[in-house]
Amino acid sequence: MSLAKRHAVVTGSTSGIGLAIARALAKEGADVMINGFGDVKAIETERAGIEKEFGVKAFYNGADMSKGAEVEAMIADAGAKMGSVDIVVNNAGIQFVSPIEEFPPEKWDAIIAINLTSAFHTIRAAVPGMKAQKWGRIINTASAHSLVASPFKSAYVAAKHGLAGLTKTVALELATFGVTANCISPGYVWTPLVESQIPDTMKARHMTREQVINEVMLGGQPTKQFVTVDQVASLAVYLCSDSASQITGANLSIDGGWTAE
């Protein structure tokens, strides 16, 4: 499959799942714009590495995904630099773990803004161009938590359920324009985001690090294995293919059987 002459924006892509998706799309020939926070030199190394390894154009935009105006400006920047925005992967996400009565309101606001509202802003900005060219792919990185809940993750679960609903609505609106919208819902993937929530989960559940990994994270995944970033990226690439043109409005689990129970 070739994505040559396609242009993708992948949010939250300076590490983890997002970076794996950006690299996988570039491997198939797509120009990419990555986005996210991190060390400036490390980000530039990744950007330049994508260009060198895959022979595509790669750009970086540091838009703060909690700010709608910056998100819209990023999509405009991508269109100006690449010529069009054909693929949008909404992957930016943050997490916070706390009992509901102790959940800081500012953490709730930030999680909803970055995990859910930012996707609204990217989609709203990219859709006119996709409709005009009669082709587009919108992929939202949701979570098993778009389908089921876990304790102490009220904002994250709410945001991911919302993202699944947004995906369905967008899919219906764009169904006759050659544009698809789908969710990928991973279980636990070993990423910096997952690793960083271990201490808070240890505190909330009064567990050791090993207990959190084996009983909380992998306890719900029947395969007892973490999903890999490359497995998620491969599914994203498939959803961009012509073979997936009739897959739209779907929420595709890749969770080791977690949500089958």
* Active site members: 156
The three-class DSSP label of residue 166 is helix
Could you tell me which of 86, 89, 88, 90 has the C-alpha nearest to residue 5?
86
Q: Which residue has the tokens 């073979």?
A: 243
The CB density around residue 107, as the number of other CB atoms within 10 Å, is: 17
CA separation for the pair 239, 182 (Å, rounded): 8
DSSP 228: P
H or E stretch including 251? Answer: strand 251-254
**Residue 102: CA count within 13 A, CB half-sphere:** 10
Whether the CB-CB separation of 10 and 34 falls below 8 Å is answered with yes
Helix (H) or strand (E) holding 186: strand 179-186
Q: Identify whether the C-beta of residue 12 lies closer than 8 Å to the C-beta of residue 91.
A: yes
Amino acid symbol at 42: A
